[in-house]
A and B are shown apart, each in its own frame.
Chain A
C-alpha cells in the first residue's frame, strides 16, 4: 500500500482553506444518522466529541477514567502557543510554523504544521469564550510568556495549570453535550481492541473496569485520542494509566505506526530519588525563562551550591548557546544535562541532576514576582524534595515526557485503516522529531476543535456503510480474541508482578533506547525486550479474576502491549541512521556534539506495518518535502 498523505495542492497558506472547500459535506439533517466513537476524552478527544456532537453527529465517548476531567492533558503546566502577536514582538502564523518545523528538526509535514499554526489563534478565542481564565495583564488583556525554541512571547497560560484549564474547558463543552444527550459517555471502560469490518474501522471492544465484563461499541467511524506511549519507559512524566493499548491494537489491525523512536525527554523534571519511585514529576519548562541552569566546573564538587562562587560555575547553556541561552529546545537542553552528568559534574545525592537557579531573578525582581509567576511550581518542588527553591537552586534532570511518534495519519488525520482517525499525541503528525513547549495543548485542541469536525464529514459522506450488528463476524471475532488474551494472561500464574516486569522494561528502554542511542545498544535492547516479553508471558502473576474490578489485570494488558511496542521503538531507532531532535544517535553528531541529520537519506516519515509479534515490521516511507522552510543545521547559538 502506497502512503498517500492527501496533502492538498496550492500555496501553503491556502492549502487548508482550499481543502476545506473541497471536502464533501454531510447534510445537517443526515448528521444524526452517523455514529462516531471517540476513544479518550483528554484535550483532543473531549474537544472532538463535543464539537462533533454540536454539529449533530451521534457520538459515543469512551474513557478508562471515571470522568473526562481526569485525562492527563490536565497535568500540562506551561501554556499553549498561538501567534496572536498581542505583545507586538513580530509574531505571525508563518513564524510559528517556521519555529515548529525547525524545532521538530525538519521531520514534520509542512502542510500539517502550517495548518496547526493557522488554527491555533481560533483555539485561544474558543477557550476564552468557554470561560477559561487565562492570565491577564493589568489592562485586562491576555498575557503571554516565552517558551523554549522561540524568540517571541506567544504562550498563553493559566498560572502553572494551563492544561487543567483547557481540559476543563473542553470537558465543560463535552459535559454540555452529555447533558443534552448528544454524547453518550462511558467511563471506566478500557478499550482493548478495534473492530475492523470490511476494511473499515467500525467499533471497539472494551472491558468494563468495574464489572470486568467485555462490551462492544459499534458505529461508522472511530476516533482514537488516547495520548502517548511514554510509559514504555516505566518512569516518565505520564500519568500512571497512560498507555498505548488502543493505538497498538489498531497498529496490529493494520494502522501504520510512524516514527516510533521519536521520544521527548523533558529537561526540567525532579530527579529520581529512590527505587520505589513510581513516576516522575515535571516542572514546567517556563521555569527556564527565569532560572539559570548550571553545574559546578569541578567534577564531583559536593559543596552546598550557594557556597560555590560564580567563577566556579558553568552556565553551560548560556555558554554554548549565547542567543537562546537557557531557552534552547527541550532535546538540546536534555542532552546537554546528560552530558554534564556523564562528565561527572552532576549534582545532588545521585549525581544525576543539574541546578536550576533563581537567585539572580529573585535578586532582580523580588520573591513576590516569582510567587506570582510560578507559585505552584515552587510549592510542588518543596513538597516532593523537602527543599525550598527560593533559598537553594532546584535540582532537575531530564525525564521521558512526550512521544512525537504515533499512528501514521494523513492530512485528514485518518490512519491507514479507513474510518480510523487519530488525534493529539496518539498520532505522529505535527511535531517532527522534537516538540516545542506549549505545542501539545495546541495540537490536541486543533485536532479536536478545528480539524476533525471538517475531515471526518468528508469520509462519512464518501463512504458506503453496511449496518453493523452485534453478531457481525468482525465483532464476534474481535471480542473472542480479546477474551482469549485475557484468559491467557490470567492463566499464566507466574511469580513476577506486572510492575516488576514493567520496571525491567523501563530499564532496558532507558538504557538502550533513551536519550542517546547507538547501533550496538539498540540491537542489544531489541534482544532484551524480546527476552523480557517471553518472560512476561511465562512469569506474570495476576491476582483475582477477570470478572471483577482488577487493576493488576488492567496494567498487565497495557504492559503486554508496551512489550511489543518497545521493540518497534528500538527497531525504528536502529533504522534511522541519523540524529534528529529527540532521536540522538551517537554515531551521528557534529564536532560540537550537536545532532547531525542526514536529509539525503532520512528526510521521510518512517511508517511501520505490523507483520506479527517477533516478525520484523515492514517499513513504508512518506517522503518529506520542504518547500518553505529550508532544512539547515538547527542553530540556537
Chain B
C-alpha cells in the first residue's frame, strides 16, 4: 500500500507549525499506524531530516501515551482503540492521511505531535483519589460492593487518560475524563467520604486549566478508545449539583 501523509510539524512550543507532506510506500495492511510513522522516521533519518516526534509507549492501547488526530478524528477512523491500535487495513490504498496533534488550550504542543497533557495530572491531584494512607485498611472483603455497581465503576475506571475526549470535543472539554474518575469514586463506597469536595475541586481545576464546557455533543464517547459512556458525565453533573446545593 502507498499513502500520502500530511503531518503537522512544529519545532517547539514557541514556533509556528505547518502540515508537511510525505509519501510512504511498501506499507502492508497489518502494519500499525505507528509502525508507518516508524518507517517514515527511518527514512527521514537516512535523509538527514528531523524525524516526526510523537508520544508512544506500550503500543497496546493502555498507557494512553499516543494520541493523534488522524483524518479529523481522535485516534483515527476506528472505534474503541488508541492510535497504536490502528492498523493500515483501516485505510484505502493511496489515501491521503492528515495527522495533527491533539489540539486544546489545555494541551500545549511540545513538538510535532507531542502535547503536554499534565493538566490531567493536576486535575487528578485536585481530588481524583481516596484519602487513604498506606496501611491500616480493613480487610478487602469487609466492603461488599454489588457486582453491578463494581462493573459500572470499572467501566469508568478504564479511562487511559489519553485526551481523545478533549481532542474530539468541539469545545475541547475535559468532562469525560473528569467524569470517569468522579463517577468511579462516587459509585464506590470507598469514595463516599470525600464525595462532595472531590467533584467541586476536580471541576474547578478543570475550568482553571482552560478546557471548554460540555455541550453534550457526545463526540467524546464516540472517540474514546475505551468507549466510556457519557452517562458518567450525567452522574458527575448530578454529583456537582448535589454537592453545591447541600
Asked whether any CB of A lies within 8 Å of a CB of B in the complex, the reply is yes
Render B30-64 as a binary contact track against A, CB cut-off 8 A, 1 for contact. 11101100110010111011110101111111111
The SS class assigned to the B binding surface is loop
B141: Cβ under 8 A from any A Cβ: yes
Nearest CB of A to B32, in Å: 7
B134 touches A65 (CB 8 A): no
B81: Cβ under 8 A from any A Cβ: yes
Q: Which of A125, A187, A210 has the most CB of B within 10 A?
A: A125
List of A residues within 8 angstroms of B137 by Cβ = 122, 125-126, 128-129
Spot the interface stretch: A156-164, A197-205, A340-348. A156-164
Render A166-187 as a binary contact track against B, CB cut-off 8 A, 1 for contact. 0010011101101100000101
Cα distance A548–B15 in the bound complex, in angstroms: 13
A130: Cβ under 8 A from any B Cβ: yes
List of A residues within 8 angstroms of B184 by Cβ = 131, 133
B117 touches A141 (CB 8 A): no
Q: A129-B137, A130-B129, A130-B130 are in contact. Are A278 and B62 (CB under 8 A)?
A: no
Which one, A70, A135, A141, A161, contacts B57 given CB within 8 A? A70
Render B138-158 as a binary contact track against A, CB cut-off 8 A, 1 for contact. 111101111100100110011
B231: Cβ under 8 A from any A Cβ: no
Nearest neighbor of B124 in chain A, beta-carbon distance:
A175
B234: Cβ under 8 A from any A Cβ: no
A67 touches B143 (CB 8 A): no
Nearest neighbor of A180 in chain B, beta-carbon distance:
B125
Which one, B31, B58, B59, B111, contacts A274 given CB within 8 A? B31
A84: Cβ under 8 A from any B Cβ: yes
List of B residues within 8 angstroms of A43 by Cβ = none
Cα distance A50–B53 in the bound complex, in angstroms: 32
Nearest neighbor of B37 in chain A, beta-carbon distance:
A278
In chain A between 110 and 141, which residues have their CB closer than 8 angstroms to a CB of chain B?
Answer: 122, 124-141
B57 touches A72 (CB 8 A): yes
Spot the interface stretch: A330-338, A378-386, A391-399, A566-574. A378-386
Nearest neighbor of A54 in chain B, beta-carbon distance:
B133
Nearest neighbor of B57 in chain A, beta-carbon distance:
A239
B132: Cβ under 8 A from any A Cβ: yes
A386 touches B158 (CB 8 A): no
Which one, A179, A273, A380, contacts B60 given CB within 8 A? A380
Nearest CB of B to A246, in Å: 16
Q: Which of A65, A133, A185, A552 has the most CB of B within 10 A?
A: A133
List of B residues within 8 angstroms of A159 by Cβ = 154, 158
Render B177-210 as a binary contact track against A, CB cut-off 8 A, 1 for contact. 0000000110010110000000000000000000
Q: A380-B61, A543-B51 are in contact. Are A175 and B158 (CB under 8 A)?
A: no
B42 touches A136 (CB 8 A): no
Give the size of the chain A interface in residues (CB under 8 angstroms): 83
List of A residues within 8 angstroms of B124 by Cβ = 171-172, 175
In chain B between 39 and 98, which residues have their CB closer than 8 angstroms to a CB of chain A?
Answer: 39, 42, 44-46, 48-51, 53, 55-65, 80-81, 85, 87, 89
Nearest CB of B to A545, in Å: 10
List of B residues within 8 angstroms of A551 by Cβ = 51, 53
B28 touches A51 (CB 8 A): no
List of B residues within 8 angstroms of A544 by Cβ = 50
A130 touches B38 (CB 8 A): no
B126: Cβ under 8 A from any A Cβ: yes
A196: Cβ under 8 A from any B Cβ: no
B214: Cβ under 8 A from any A Cβ: no
List of A residues within 8 angstroms of B116 by Cβ = 66
Q: A142-B141, A161-B158 are in contact. Are A549 and B53 (CB under 8 A)?
A: yes
B118: Cβ under 8 A from any A Cβ: yes
A70 touches B61 (CB 8 A): no
User: Size range of the interface on B?
Assistant: 35 or more
A133 touches B30 (CB 8 A): no
Cα distance A278–B81 in the bound complex, in angstroms: 18
In chain A between 237 and 277, which residues have their CB closer than 8 angstroms to a CB of chain B?
Answer: 239-241, 273-274, 276-277
List of B residues within 8 angstroms of A384 by Cβ = 30, 85, 87
Q: Which of B51, B81, B126 has the most CB of A within 10 A?
A: B51
Q: A128-B143, A133-B150 are in contact. Are A67 and B125 (CB under 8 A)?
A: no
A173 touches B129 (CB 8 A): yes
A273 touches B161 (CB 8 A): no
A549 touches B161 (CB 8 A): no
List of A residues within 8 angstroms of B140 by Cβ = 84, 124-125, 127-128, 134, 142
Nearest CB of B to A170, in Å: 10
Q: A125-B139, A276-B38 are in contact. Are A281 and B64 (CB under 8 A)?
A: no
Which one, A142, A175, A497, contacts B128 given CB within 8 A? A175
A141 touches B141 (CB 8 A): yes
Cα distance A135–B56 in the bound complex, in angstroms: 29
A75 touches B58 (CB 8 A): yes
List of A residues within 8 angstroms of B85 by Cβ = 380, 383-384
A327: Cβ under 8 A from any B Cβ: no
Cα distance A541–B137 in the bound complex, in angstroms: 53
Nearest neighbor of B132 in chain A, beta-carbon distance:
A129
Nearest CB of A to B5, in Å: 15
A628: Cβ under 8 A from any B Cβ: no
List of B residues within 8 angstroms of A135 by Cβ = 150, 154
Q: A66-B118, A165-B157, A278-B38 are in contact. Are A131 and B130 (CB under 8 A)?
A: yes
In chain A between 64 and 83, which residues have their CB closer than 8 angstroms to a CB of chain B?
Answer: 65-72, 74-75
Nearest neighbor of A127 in chain B, beta-carbon distance:
B140
B12: Cβ under 8 A from any A Cβ: yes
Residues of A bordering B, CB below 8 Å: 47, 50-51, 54, 65-72, 74-75, 84, 86, 122, 124-142, 158-159, 161, 163-165, 168, 171-173, 175-176, 178-179, 185, 187, 210, 239-241, 273-274, 276-279, 281-282, 379-380, 383-386, 449-450, 453, 497, 499-500, 541, 543-544, 548-549, 551-552
User: When A and B form their complex, which 10 residue pairs have the shortest distance between CB atoms, in order from nearest?
Assistant: A140-B144, A179-B125, A172-B129, A129-B137, A133-B154, A51-B134, A128-B140, A239-B57, A131-B190, A549-B111
11 extra interface residue pairs, beta carbon distance < 8 Å, beyond A383-B85, A499-B38: A54-B133, A67-B161, A130-B190, A133-B150, A140-B150, A173-B129, A277-B35, A279-B60, A282-B60, A450-B135, A497-B46
Q: What are 6 pairs between A and B in contact, CB < 8 Å? A: A68-B121, A70-B64, A125-B139, A134-B150, A136-B150, A239-B57
